[in-house]
Amino acid sequence: MGGFEVLDWIAIAGYFGIMLAVVWWVVLQKQRTSTDYFLAGRHMPWFVVGASIFASNIGSEHIVGLAGQGSTSGMGMAHWELHAWVVVMLAWVFVPFYYRSRVFTMPEFLEKRYNATARWILTIVSLVAYVFTKVSVTVYAGGVVFNVLLPEIHVQLTESLVLDAFWIGALLTVVLTGIYTVLGGLRAVVYTDTIQTVILLLGSAFITFFGLSKLGGWSELQAICRPNAENFALWRPNTAPDFPWLGILIASPIIGIWYWCTDQYIVQRALSAKDLRNARRGALWGSFLKVWPVMIFLVPGLIGYALHQKGMITIPTKMANGQEVLDGDQVFAVMVSSLLPAGLRGLVVGGLLAALMSSLSSLFNSCASLFTVDIYEKINPKASERHLVTVGRIATLVVVGMGIIWIPVMQRVSQGGLYKYLQDVQSYLGPPITAVFLLGLFFKRINGKGAVAGLAVGFIAGMGKLALQALTGGGAEAIITSPEWLVGIGQYNFLFASGWLLLISIVAIVGVSLLTAPPDYKRIAELTYGTATPEQKKECRESWGLVEVLMTVVVLGLVLGLYLYFSFWLN
């Protein structure tokens, strides 16, 4: 089917067999309490924590979307994939406070630091964002690949309703992932993530190796990309419409700190560690793994572009803004079907399934945690532990259904490329959350009223900008064409807009905090650097040693090396 051979199907079947065995082993270990279900009993070793952080981040939208961006905009998106230094921040700056507070969720931490209103705002925004961006985008990206690899597969439901390869692949994977997440909780998620990380790295590395071999090596890739250096360079002039260098320097850290240091989706893995040392070391291990996506996900997109230019493969085209352009989101699937031998093709598809399922399982469990702990338990505080686990499972099923319902909308809004769409939306969601967490940790004078003001103002301004962007163009036909100032706001570069949103949020948080009474410093003891106790400082110091320092130096050295190399690679 679709070029697949027996060896390919054996590789995929073997992958699913291993996953089934792991999930069955986890299910046999009863999930009796909410701590078991949502935080794997807080017993995870560092290497499992780090692998889960990495696998949760790298979804099918990364493989499909990053390869697509590589083929159409070169290294422009590499800055987001060099965020390993931000994961180092998670390990050293944020983890000590999160882990010691013994919270289940990030909104719960905000309530301890600020108040219940801040918790409610972050919970609702996070749930909406997960369902309408991450879940649906991840499933949609997987469906795109199935559509290319297995185009002949279809199921005739009625005379007028046919499920094609896109919907069969998307639905089958999301249902299977939902089942093992519902049954096994976070323990099933993190153990399967560990296996999926290995498959993911191997599969993507094979694509890079075979692509470069067919192309003729790295020097040939540089030679083909050099005439298009203006569009493929890591750093672009400030006049560039998509990735101006100053906008990158402003927005990339804002989005990175929000995603890696404050988002439930990622931080929940660190909270599952068996102690503070394992939480910190796990985050550092995750940062080391995060160094490699540029080479194994973004570079294959560049290779795909070069092979297309030489006529060795054919990348489909699509219409965008009235012009025929390469359909970057199909590059990865075309390379898999065109370049890889039997068996390896199945392994790489297994890697894609690994990425899809690891991201989805993490999302499902995070959504269930947010709903159960931050909404249901607040409304029904007398609920038993067993009842909370049941509610978490039902919440997971609801999120699965809502994500599937939203997929058709994704087919309309992702015309500019999946990965760019994600960064676009996150640029408007992240600034107020980044501001609230950073100011909350470093300035004890910031109070709950200030946090609520910053979150509310920042989110309203961000969603207003996103709405204007969609209505004034945003890759589709403009609905609003006047007045000019309104159109100008809508079409203002998303990177610079992210910086302004952060500034607006900070002004609101600091201004309202200074105009109102200071917080009760006894209540926020151990939740800020300014109120840390001597015992807390001693525990924090004992949680790291030479291993953690060396891991940090290696990661930062690798990030710096990649930045230096790719800053000049087309000169």
User: Encoding tokens for residue 49?
Assistant: 């924590």
- Rounded CA-CA distance 61/453 in Å is 33
Q: Is residue 1 situated within a structural domain?
A: no
| pLDDT value for 1 | 38
Are the beta carbons of 89 and 342 closer than 8 angstroms? no
Residue 517 DSSP class: P
| pLDDT value for 124 | 87
- The region of weakest confidence among 15-24, 235-244, 335-344 is 15-24
Percent of the chain with pLDDT over 90: 25
Dihedral sign, Cα of residue 315, residue 317, residue 321, residue 322: positive
Say yes or no to pLDDT of 474 above 60: no
Residue 324 pairs in a beta bridge with 319
Domains of the chain: total? 1
Q: Is residue 211 situated within a structural domain?
A: yes
Residue 385: CATH number of its domain? 1.20.1730.10
- Rounded CA-CA distance 408/177 in Å is 20
Specify the 3-state DSSP secondary structure of 567. Answer: helix
Count Cβ neighbours within 10 Å for each residue of 221-246 and write b for 16 or more, e otherwise.
bbebbeeeeebbbbbbeeebebbbbe
Q: Is residue 391 situated within a structural domain?
A: yes
Say yes or no to pLDDT of 400 above 90: no
Mean pLDDT score, 366-391: 81
- Provide the residue range defining the domain that includes 189: 6-568
| pLDDT value for 56 | 75
Residue 70 DSSP class: H
Dihedral sign, Cα of residue 554, residue 66, residue 260, residue 432: positive
| pLDDT value for 418 | 57
| pLDDT value for 322 | 64
Mean pLDDT score, 384-402: 78
Q: What is the pTM of this model?
A: 0.83
Mean pLDDT score, 53-64: 74
Q: Is residue 203 situated within a structural domain?
A: yes
Looking at per-residue pLDDT, the higher value among 424 and 331 belongs to: 331
Burial class (CB in 10 A: 0-12, 13-18, 19+), 448: buried
- Rounded CA-CA distance 138/408 in Å is 13
| pLDDT value for 113 | 94
487 — pLDDT class (breaks 50, 70, 90): confident
For residue 30, CA distances in Å to 35, 40, 121, 363, 390 come to 12, 11, 33, 22, 13
Q: Is residue 508 situated within a structural domain?
A: yes
- The region of weakest confidence among 110-124, 344-358, 454-468 is 344-358
Place of tokens 């952060």: 502
| pLDDT value for 2 | 46
